[in-house]
Amino acid sequence: MTFHTEPSIAEDSYIIPVELMLAKGSLLINGQQIRVGLIGTGNIGKIHLSGIAALKEAGLLNVEIVALCDIDHEVLQSAGDLFEVKKLYEDFKDLVNDDDVDVVYVCTPTNKHMDMVQAAARAKKQIFCEKPLAHSCPQARTLQAVTQDQGVNATVGLVLRFDQFLLYAKKLLQENDFGKPMLAHIRDDQRFPVDYSYYSKWRGEKALAGGGTLIEHSIHDIDILRWFFGEVETVFAKVSNFYGREVEDHASLIITHVDGKVSTLDSIWHWIDRPNERAIEFFFEKGYIGIRLESGKRYLEYHLKDQDPVRIWQENADIALIENLGLHSRNMSPEAVETITSVGTERYAALSYSFLSSIQTGQPLSPNFVDAVAAHRIVDAAYESANKDRQVDLL
Ligand X SMILES: NC(=O)c1ccc[n+]([C@@H]2O[C@H](COP(=O)([O-])OP(=O)(O)OC[C@H]3O[C@@H](n4cnc5c(N)ncnc54)[C@H](O)[C@@H]3O)[C@@H](O)[C@H]2O)c1
Query: By Cβ distance, which residue is nearest to ligand X?
Result: 42
Give whichever of 110 and 316 is closer to ligand X, judged by the CB atom.
110
Distance of closest approach, residue 67 Cβ to ligand X, in angstroms? 12
Cα pseudo-dihedral 307, 311, 314, 315, rounded to 10 = -70
Distance of closest approach, residue 284 Cβ to ligand X, in angstroms: 28
Under a CB-based contact definition with an 8 Å cutoff, are residues 100 and 82 in contact?
A: no
Is 42 one of the binding residues for ligand X (CB under 6 A)?
A: yes
As measured in angstroms, the least distance from the Cβ of 160 to ligand X is 8
45 touches ligand X by CB under 6 A = yes
Answer yes or no whether residue 43 interacts with ligand X by CB under 6 A.
Answer: yes
Q: Are 208 and 356 in contact (CB under 8 A)?
A: no
Residue 256: which residues within 8 A CB-CB, separation 6 or more? 232, 233, 234, 262
Span of 18-26, 105-113, 242-250, 313-321 interacting with ligand X by CB under 6 A: 105-113
Closest approach, Cβ 131 to ligand X, in A, equals 5
- Of 98 and 332, which CB lies nearer to ligand X in the complex structure? 98
The secondary structure of 274-305 as a DSSP string is S--EEEEEEEETTEEEEEEESSS--EEEEEET
Instruction: Give residue 147's identity as a one-letter amino acid code.
Output: T
109 binds ligand X (CB under 6 A): yes
39 in contact with ligand X (CB under 6 A): yes
| Alpha-carbon torsion angle 244, 248, 249, 254, nearest 10 | 140
CA distance 139 to 137: 5
Between 44 and 365, CB nearer to ligand X? 44
In sequence order, which residues have a C-beta less than 8 Å from that of residue 163 and are 6 or more positions away? 293, 321, 347
CB of 177 to ligand X, least distance (A): 33
SS3 155: strand
Q: Interface with ligand X includes 211 (CB under 6 A)?
A: no
Nearer to ligand X, 106 or 152 (CB): 106
Nearer to ligand X, 105 or 302 (CB): 105
Among the residue ranges 57-65, 102-110, 354-362, 377-385, the one whose residues contact ligand X (CB under 6 A): 102-110
Residues in 55-84 at the binding interface with ligand X, rule: CB under 6 A = 69-72, 75
Which of 93, 112, 187, 286: binder of ligand X (CB under 6 A)? 112
Q: Which is closer to ligand X, CB of 110 or CB of 213?
A: 110
Stretch that binds ligand X, among 197-205, 338-346, 352-360, 378-386 (CB under 6 A): 197-205
Alpha helices in 111-185 (DSSP H): 113-122, 137-150, 164-175
What whole-number distance in Å separates Cα of residue 156 and Cα of residue 368?
6
Told to check if 135 binds ligand X by CB under 6 A, we report: no
Nearest distance from C-beta of residue 168 to ligand X, angstroms = 19
CA–CA dist 340, 55 (Å, integer): 8
| x-marked contacts with ligand X along 140-159 as a string, rule CB under 6 A | -----------------x-x
Residue 19 Cβ, how far from ligand X at the closest point, in Å? 38
371 sits near ligand X (criterion: CB under 6 A) = no
CA nearest 159: which of 126, 202, 130? 130
93 binds ligand X (CB under 6 A): no
| Mutual angle of helices 334-341 and 43-57, in 10-degree steps | 160
> Should residue 44 be labelled a site residue for ligand X when binding is judged by CB under 6 A?
yes
Residue 234, phi then psi, degrees to nearest 5: -140, 155
Under 8 Å between Cβ of 45 and 37: no
Task: Report the distance separating Cα 153 and Cα 147, nearest Å.
Answer: 7
**Under rule CB under 6 A, residue 37 binds ligand X:** no
Q: Which residues here bind ligand X, judged by CB under 6 A? A: 39-45, 69-72, 75, 92, 107-110, 112, 130-131, 157, 159, 198, 200, 202, 216
